[in-house]
Amino acid sequence: EREKNAFEQRLDRLMQRMRHGFYEPFLERALRSPILAFGIFFFLLNLTFGALGAGWIQTTFFPVVERDDINVELEMVAGTREHIVNAELARIEDVIWRVNEELKAQREDSLDVVLKVQRKLGPRPEQGSLFVVLLDGETRDLKT
C-alpha cells in the first residue's frame, strides 16, 4: 500500500474526527431513544415540505427544455376532404412564414428563425400535420 500524501492525511483525520466526534455519539443517542430520533426526522421532513409548499425553497420538478422543432397537428371533422385539410395546413404554414419574417426583421443578424416546414396529410383524410424546424436554441435566443 502506498503512503498517503498530505491532503489525503488531512482528509483522513477529518473523517476520523467526524466519525468519532459527531456520527458515533449521534448514533448512540439515536439507538438509545429511537422514538425521539424518528420524531426529529419526521419534524425535519415536515419542515422541509412546509418550506417547499410555502415557496421558501424554490424547485423545478421538470425544467423546460427548449426544442428546435414544433409539431402542429390538425384534425378536422370526420369526412372532411383532403383538399380542405391541405388548404388549412397551407394557411397555417403561411402564418408560420409570416411570423418568421417578423422575427427575422427583429434580429440583428437577419437569420431565419424558421428553417423548414414539412406538411403531411393523413393517416386519415381529415388529419394532417406540420413539422416546423427552427433555428437552434443557442442561435435563436428567443423565449418559446
Tell me the pLDDT tens digit for each residue of 87-117: 999 999 999 999 999 999 988 888 999 999 9
pLDDT score of 66: 76
Confidence of residue 78 (pLDDT cuts 50, 70, 90): very high
Ramachandran angles phi, psi of 130, nearest 5°: -120, 135
**43 and 89 in contact (C-beta within 8 Å)?**
no
For residue 77, give the C-alpha cell: 371533422
pLDDT score of 143: 58
β pairing state of 69-75 and 127-134 = antiparallel
> What are the DSSP calls for 69-114, one per residue?
EEEEEEE--TT--HHHHHHHHHHHHHHHHHHHHHHHHHSSS---SE
pLDDT at residue 75 is higher than 90: yes
